Amino acid sequence: MKKTSYLWNFVLIAVITIVALWFALKDNYQEVVHAIGKLNGFSLTIILVWGILYTCVWGLVYVVLGRKFKKNYSVLNGIVVAFTGTFFSGITPSATGGQFGQAYIFKKQGIGASILWADFIIYQTTMMVYVTILFCMKFFYYSHQSAWFTLVLAGYVVNFVVIFGLYTMALFPKIYIHLSQWIVKVLSRLRILKNPEKTLESWTLQMTSFTSEIKKLAGDKKAIVECMLINTVRLTMLYALPFLIARLLGIHLAMDQLVDVIALSSFVTMANSFIPIPGASGGTEMMFSILFSPIMGSLTSAVLILWRVSTYHIILVVGGVIFMVAKAYYDRRDAIEGKECEKPCE
């Protein structure tokens, strides 16, 4: 993607966010601003740093997986990969750019990008198990209160189909390769694909790489368990943040409502599956307001603003800075190593 495309994505994110916030604040902006203004510095710091900590926890997954290839793979390296993924996912439609950015960093770190397949399937599995438990506990209770929960259910089904497809792909790769051949032929006849042979070769390579990585991962039960536990902590931090913000804002939520907040947060994530805009901007704010208003009342918008800034805007900025610093470091290192390789030849 060109730099101009990134720029337009930033503009799109900003415009949609402003419009979404206007709708969220138009009825009680004074009350919301007053509530946020009453937060002391310590409470505000906890909220704003929460998203950064959550992303750092994600980096630990890459440390576990990275050390399968390099024993000295550091925590810092894993955190750089996590923030790079967060940054590129946040500025590209449907989060499609995250893995491309991470693949670049992994290459510079001397690790193959196939590790991303292992991370993806472990995360999707953990998330679906986590959300399925929450669905069984809370979905049917809340679904009677709003028709919007139909969108949440549809998002859950989409994510379930994805994880089901991944596992069947790992178990029966030949079926998917034959299916790919058929799809390529159809698209070629419709003149949608200009280079069907190259496309088929790329798909087959990706399939083979994915299957190979899953087989390797299946033999390391310890790494799977560690990554699933880390992802559970990561998801809990993400889903529980609205509860923490609400309590700090003085919204009366009992401790037994923590599960309700975690469930509703996961439902927002499920609904976001249909929003192709970078960062799911606009739709995220709308779904959050709809789902949380019944339990947070007039200060839902205040919780929304702080939650969104912490889990999206701040880590987008931090991720961008970390990626640029990392890229500059790797470029400088490669340049130095290149000069050292030239010296004996002179």
**Per-residue pLDDT in tens (0 to 9) along the chain, 346 residues:** 455 555 555 566 666 666 666 665 665 667 777 778 888 889 999 999 998 999 999 999 999 999 988 889 999 999 999 999 998 887 776 666 778 889 999 999 988 777 888 898 899 999 999 999 998 888 877 777 777 788 888 888 988 988 888 888 777 777 777 787 788 777 777 777 677 777 777 777 777 777 777 777 777 889 999 999 999 999 999 999 999 999 999 898 999 899 999 999 999 888 877 665 554 555 677 888 888 988 898 888 889 989 988 988 899 889 989 999 999 999 888 888 776 666 554 4
pLDDT of residue 20: 61
Judge whether 253 and 295 are in contact, CB under 8 Å. Answer: yes
Query: What local confidence, expressed as pLDDT, does residue 204 receive?
Result: 76
The whole-number pLDDT of residue 4 equals 55
The full length of the chain comes to 346
Report d(CA 126, CA 211) in Å as an integer: 19
pLDDT at 1: 47
Burial 267-296 (b: 16+ CB within 10 A, else e): bbbbbbbebebbbbbbbbbbbbbbbbeebb
The model's pTM is 0.83
Within 8 A by CB and 6+ apart from 290, the residues are 146, 148
* pLDDT of the residue at 178: 78
Residue 222: CA count within 13 A, CB half-sphere: 3
Q: How far apart are CA 301 and CA 315, in angstroms?
A: 20
Query: DSSP letter string over 234-299?
Result: HHHHHHHHHHHHHHHTT----GGGHHHHHHHHHHHHHHGGG--SGGGTTHHHHHHHHHHHHHHGGG
Q: What is the pLDDT of residue 32?
A: 73
How far are the Cα atoms of 48, 247, 251, 288, 305 from residue 39, in angstroms, in the given order? 12, 11, 12, 21, 13
Looking at residue 33, its pLDDT comes to: 75
